[in-house]
Structure 1
Amino acid sequence: MGVPVVLAGEGEAALAIAIEPLEPPRLSALRSFGEPELALTAWRAETLKAFACDGDIARIAVPPGADTAWLKAIADPQDDLRVPLKGPVRGLYGGSGALHRAAVLLAKSAHLLPAALLVRVENPLVLAADHGLTFLRIDEALPALSRLAPLADVVSARLPMALAGAGRLHIFRPDDGGDEHYAIEVGQPARDRPVLARLHSACFTGDVLGSLKCDCGPQLHAALAQMGDEGAGVLLYLNQEGRGIGLANKMRAYSLQDQGFDTVDANHRLGFEDDERDFRIGAELLRGLGFREVRLLTNNPRKVAMLDSCGLKVVERVPLKVGKTRENAAYLATKAARSGHLL
């Protein structure tokens, strides 16, 4: 929303705001409290040739005359090739980067670009009360951001499907107000033996629009068809668009791919990890439905390892090699070479 929050922890406090929605009047108001500092991920800092002294986070000094256009150009890589010289940027050293890390994680949780502006302040509780701002202690906020919210099976109903036949759709809702996730039961899968299962991350462009840039739509359809052929299965549709970075950032990554970067480098230039998804959600949903052993339809060994680590036994990895096109051949090659997918 472009409204700052007050972060406090380890004997320090700061006003923190995401760069993406920052407007000039807000920047001017923040400067009245002190000198702003920019927080970026190490991946974005690497693109800008800035040193991330806190490991995963870089703290950058904001020049006195810098405006919102400068800040957004630092945070958003869409103009990196057109305007390659944005610096030199000056890193900040000493002290703790805990507040900066928390601010970046909050921006990520909102599917904004992972970049934030911070201004150190005194008397944070009074400041938050006087200005009607949210006050967060980072020792409470950070564990909340990393925990898996309990998921409730709020409703289910019969759903006949063209590809899979008779089925049932379950809607799962987390207790923290986050995205809902869905489970599609095909047939009546038994709970006392391994179930054919697929963890499918939402892909609006591939699943709905039939994009040729990825193999998501064909994988979704092939998984449902195979479950229909076998008479039973469960497909989890997880709302983790763009490998967990959201649709807007996924489109930013697509724009970078049009400039010649592969899918991994595009994510890194945006400041994200290769893959920001949380597959613990899939394990939680499968357990909630009563399954303990699965035959997992996937080409991604990371999904197998995550389910195993969450106490679900993967008795078989079932390959799902469909959807290769001229347009996505390079994308699939990158998934194999850099993300370990078994294609």
Structure 2
Amino acid sequence: MAREKTSVERAISDLRRGALVMLFDPIRRTAAIIQAAELSTSEGLDLILKLAGSEPSVVITNRRSTAIRINAKTTEVISVSIPPQGGIELVHRLANPIFETEDGFGSIDQEELDNLPVVPEASDGLAPKAVQLVKFARLLPSVVLSRIPYAEMSRLSGWNKADSLLAVDARLIDALPEMRAQRLVKAVSAQVPLIDSEKTSLIAFRPVDGGEEHVAIVIGDLDTDQAVLVRLHSQCLTGDLLGSLRCDCGDQLRGAIKAISEYGGGVLIYLAQEGRDIGLVNKLRAYNLQDLGSDTVEANHQIGFEVDERIYAPAAEILKQLGIQKVKLLTNNPNKIDQLAATGIDVIERVKHAFPPNPHNAEYLKTKAAKTGHLF
């Protein structure tokens, strides 16, 4: 399984540098060549056409298709045929709501949309798997895709040996977050006195075969025979480091460290999940849309994401490796409680973790309460 997982990780790396990747499903005997839409070029479209022998299409999520009013009735991803002329600009306008044209951000004429050939994709097909893969790459959730005969895979895998197409079993993609979590190990620990808690140690965790690192901030004394006060905190460069007033992340981070210290001990797990796990670049794209009038939920949907893409399996694995099975959870987010409980962690109490709003984040907090079920 390690080798198969590595192929998915390699595909993520390849997509982030604009390379082509081949997905296949050996059960259904289907295959396709894909490229991340935001990194697609005219040359890339021509190459896909040459290799696949069929015109590529651009795949977008239901959230994105609803936002641009195209085929909004489907609940799945859709494929939009790319015209032979001017296709690359259409790819970027379909995929990116802040793609800049002379008419402004992501401008698409409704008549043009109505005339585009659209195909709803099967929920268990290659197209949704391809979109999930670029989500893991923290790119826009859209791909250029061209199907190929299954029998052609071996030929294409050896195409231009220096630039051979990486072939990835699509069935492994959805399992990646769980596999990453299961392969986490302690990499190193160090004593790091903090302003609000001098008795603090940091324990870095990462998968044995590389990958994203998460940190357990152990504050004070732990008694794992009792419920441990725990905070799951997702990385936020703008809030945690820069003191952004657009969110409450910085307040939550510093407030949690102080609260755990005053309690006598506990753990803050700092997760590499920037922007609710859509990544820094996409978070900044969402800020652009918020500045144009969208709220935080609408902005994510306009880009093509769900409002929250986070999975807390890594946090649960870290807690278990620390010997923690029962927690008092500092959170306003019921989804964290539900996900932790599903992993076998006993959440015996939710501890309120709210801070006063400021003029810049007041609407953001109202949206969290009204649309995502946060408890303030």
Note whether the superposition's TM-score is higher than 0.5: yes
> Corresponding residue for 1:128?
157
Q: Which amino acid aligns with 1:28?
A: D
TM-score (norm 2): 0.87
Aligned CA distance change for structure 1 residues 140 and 295 (closer, same or farther; 3 Å): closer
Aligned residues: 343
1:55 maps onto 2:82 in alignment: no
1:59 and 1:97 in contact (8 A); partners too: no
CA distance 1:45–1:147, shift in 2 (3 Å): farther
- Within the candidate set 19, 37, 54, 1:19 is matched to 37
CA distance in 2, matches of 1:94, 1:165: 54
For 2:196, the aligned partner's letter is: L
- Which amino acid is 2:71 matched to? F
**What SS does the aligned partner of 1:210 have?**
coil
Deviates more, 1:123-132 or 1:54-63: 54-63
Give the direction of change, closer, same or farther, for the CA distance of 1:95–1:324 in structure 2 (3 Å limit).
Answer: closer
**Residues 1:40 and 2:60 are matched in the alignment:** yes
Does 2:32 correspond to 1:8?
no
Partner in structure 2 of residue 103 of structure 1: 130
In the alignment, the residues of structure 2 paired with residue 90 and residue 323 of structure 1 have an alpha-carbon distance, to the nearest angstrom, of: 49
Percent identical pairs in the alignment equals 39
Equivalent residue number for residue 206 of structure 1 = 239
Q: Secondary structure at the match of 2:231?
A: strand
- Cα deviation for residue 82 of structure 1 reads 6.4
For 1:60, give the aligned amino acid.
V
Provide closer, same or farther for how the CA distance between residues 161 and 106 of structure 1 changes in structure 2, counting only shifts above 3 A: same
CA contact (8 A) 2:62 2:72 kept: yes
The residue identity in structure 1 corresponding to 2:21 is V
2:83 is the alignment partner of 1:71: no
Partner of 2:6: none
Relative distance call for 1:155 and 1:78 in structure 2 (3 A) is same
RMSD: 1.9
For 2:107, the equivalent position in structure 1 comes to 83
Return the alpha-carbon distance in structure 2 between the equivalents of residues 95 and 111 of structure 1.
23
Distance in 1 between residues matched to 2:122 and 2:262, nearest whole Å: 60
Amino acid at match of 2:341: D
Q: Which residue of structure 2 lines up, in the alignment, with residue 266 of structure 1?
A: 299
Equivalent positions of 1:1-343 (< 5 A) are 1-9=17-25, 10-32=28-50, 33-51=53-71, 55-79=75-99, 83-85=107-109, 87-88=113-114, 89-92=116-119, 98-122=125-149, 123-131=152-160, 132-144=164-176, 147-149=179-181, 150-343=183-376
d(CA) in 1 for partners of 2:76 and 2:147? 20
Contact 1:53/1:93, CA 8 A, preserved across alignment: no
Range that drifts further, 212-221 or 4-13: 4-13
Secondary structure at 1:139's aligned position in 2? helix
Q: TM-score, normalised by structure 1?
A: 0.95
After alignment, is 156-165 or 136-145 more displaced?
136-145
Distance 1:97 1:225, change over 3 A: closer
| Larger displacement relative to structure 2 (97-106 or 288-297) | 97-106
Query: Compared with structure 1, are the counterparts of its residues 152 and 334 closer, same or farther at alpha carbon in structure 2 (3 Å cutoff)?
Result: same
* Alpha-carbon distance in structure 2 between the residues aligned to 1:298 and 1:47: 31
C-alpha contact 2:59 2:77 (8 A) present in aligned 1: yes
1:249 match: secondary structure: helix
Query: Which 5+ residue runs of structure 1 have no aligned equivalent?
Result: none
Tell me how far apart the structure 1 counterparts of residues 226 and 90 of structure 2 sit (CA, whole Å): 58
Tell me the CA shift for residue 96 of structure 1.
7.8
Distance apart, 1:244 and its partner CA: 0.7
8 Å Cα contact 1:236-1:282 kept in structure 2: yes
| Partner SS for 2:286 | helix
Structure 1 residues 194-203 or 61-70, which shifts more? Answer: 61-70
Structure 1 residues 270 and 329: alpha-carbon distance in aligned structure 2, compared to 1, 3 A threshold: same
Q: Secondary structure at the match of 1:302?
A: helix
Q: CA deviation at 1:147?
A: 4.0
Contact 2:132-2:173 within 8 A present in 1 as well: no
